[in-house]
Amino acid sequence: MEKKDARHSAALMDRRGFLMASAGAVAWLALDGGFNPASAAQPLSLPPLPYAENALEPVITANTLGFHYGKHHKGYVDNLNKLIAGTEYEGLPLEKIIAATAGQAEKAAVFNNAAQVWNHTFYWQSLSPKGGGEPPAALKQKIEAAFGSVDACKKELAGTALSQFGSGWAWLVMDTGKLKVIKTANAELPLTAGLKPLLTIDVWEHAYYLDYQNRRADYVNAVLDKLINWEFALRNAGS
């Protein structure tokens, strides 16, 4: 009985950590007229891209973006709506669906599709046609405190993205006030670990294969040099 109570208490603490990270991380979604899954009515709809499909060329072509957004991202939204129709998850905000299904094997399909809707919406915002270059001063200070330099941060992000075996994500996150880089596999995301995501790089093959084939490194480095949205990361960091 004591073991059961301990597990229940740990689960509650994990859930609180998720909700605290989630509350901080989704503020960006309401910016600039962006999609806010926390307040979206059901059925969930495909959030609009924050730029035209050709806006990220030549780093990511309209062909790749069209398939990635119009087929893969849309597919997760459609699948999720089918999976939650008539269930206790219908009508819930996206983050609550993720929190309620994380780590539960029998609910993996719901979690995977919900998390991928969230991850992809976050990924589009992590990129900008005017991205790359030098981070804003407030973010640069945080980066230098954590990694020593912006180049060292980019190197760690690139290395983490390349070391992810198979499908997944590389993330710049905030952990108790300090920046760090992590990776997650498949649909996993930092929120379930109580971490606050600042930006992400998608390393599922469908994110880059039409443009780069097996050259993941070229894709990752091009994103970091030309597209990464430091302004978005700064907003998520709370500055």
Per-residue pLDDT tens digits for 118-147 = 999 999 999 999 999 999 999 999 999 999
Is the predicted pLDDT of residue 28 greater than 50, yes or no? no
**Is residue 53 domain-resident?**
no
**What's residue 31's pLDDT?**
34
**Is residue 54 domain-resident?**
no
What is the dihedral sign for C-alpha 229, 232, 236, 239?
positive
Pair 49, 196: CB distance under 8 Å: no
**Is residue 238 domain-resident?**
yes
Chain-centre distance for alpha carbon 110: 17
Does residue 199 sit in helix, strand or coil? strand
Number of domains in the chain: 1
**Is residue 28 domain-resident?**
yes
Query: Residue 102: which domain range?
Result: 1-45+61-239
**Is residue 191 domain-resident?**
yes
- Quickly list DSSP for 138-177: HHHHHHHHHHSSHHHHHHHHHHHHHH--SSEEEEEEEETT
Q: How many CB atoms are located within 10 Å of the residue 183 CB?
A: 20
**Is residue 108 domain-resident?**
yes
Does residue 180 sit in helix, strand or coil? strand
**Is residue 8 domain-resident?**
yes
Q: Which residues pair with 183 in a beta bridge?
A: 170
CATH number at residue 4: 3.55.40.20
**Is residue 55 domain-resident?**
no
Confidence of residue 238 (pLDDT cuts 50, 70, 90): confident
CA distances from 137 to 78, 109, 141, 164 (A): 40, 41, 6, 30
Is the predicted pLDDT of residue 163 greater than 80, yes or no? yes
Using CA atoms, how far apart are residues 196 and 184, in angstroms rounded to an integer?
14
**What's residue 95's pLDDT?**
93
Indicate the angle between helix axes 2-25 and 94-101, nearest 10 degrees.
Answer: 150
Is the predicted pLDDT of residue 6 greater than 70, yes or no? no
